[in-house]
Amino acid sequence: MLLGLGLALTLGSCDRPDSSPNPDPSPNLTPDTSLNSPLSSPPGPNPGPPIGQPAAILNPEDGRSIQIYTVDSGCEALVPQTVTVAKDQVLDGAVAAVIAAQVQGDFAIAGYRVSQPDGNQRITVEFRLPPDSPRSFASLSSCEQFALFGSLRQTLVGSAPWQVRDVEFLQGGNPIDY
């Protein structure tokens, strides 16, 4: 019984986004461009904040408010949330904000790359997991998959200015099925 409780606390649940109080409902986030650069490139000497770590936008004119989607506490629906991202990296900022909101606990993403070839209406998000990651995408519960992939898809497709119709998720060049 105690082992089962410990395992449940380690894996967590989909209500994690609501379990840690956030005094500012619209945090300022900027993506770590060193990690969402080509997947084979190591971070440079000054890599900036890790993915999902809030970084203040020093000048409000440098930020842009966007709407992202996160999973509700019952893992049944996606709810909109407004965040501010660097206006020169809106698409990457949206992905970083969703990852920051949805990836917690013992699952980590080391990097990602967002590509939209020649204004195509399809976006590809390629993830990189840490080499020593104890979990893979296949190990995510259906709720965790919905929280990550569903939130990313709705955020990217739901923003009219981006004109995105489809989102593909990859790891190591292979599609991630969820």
* Domain locations in the chain as residue ranges: 14-175
Burial class from Cβ neighbours inside 10 Å (0-12, 13-18, 19+) for residue 7 reads exposed
Does residue 7 carry a pLDDT above 60?
Answer: no
The pLDDT, as a whole number, for residue 59 is 63
pLDDT by residue (tens digit) across 90-117? 989 999 999 999 888 889 999 999 998 7
Note if the pTM is more than 0.95: no
Q: How many CA atoms lie within 13 A of 8 on its CB side?
A: 6
Question: What are the DSSP E strand ranges found in the chain?
Answer: 28-29, 63-71, 78-86, 111-115, 122-128, 166-171, 174-175
The pLDDT, as a whole number, for residue 70 is 95
Question: Which one-letter amino acid corresponds to residue 106?
Answer: D
> What is the rounded distance in angstroms from the CA atom of residue 44 to the CA atom of residue 38?
12
The pLDDT, as a whole number, for residue 60 is 65
Does residue 69 carry a pLDDT above 90?
Answer: yes
The pLDDT, as a whole number, for residue 57 is 53
pLDDT above 70 coverage of the chain, percent:
66
Does residue 124 carry a pLDDT above 70?
Answer: yes
**What mean pLDDT is predicted for residues 28-53?**
39
Q: Give the confidence band of 157 by pLDDT, cuts at 50, 70, 90.
A: very high
**Which of 96, 100, 97 is CA-nearest to residue 112?**
96
Does residue 27 carry a pLDDT above 50?
Answer: no
Q: Give the confidence band of 46 by pLDDT, cuts at 50, 70, 90.
A: very low
The better pLDDT of the pair 36, 119 is held by: 119
Helical ranges in the chain per DSSP H: 2-11, 16-19, 90-102, 142-145, 151-157
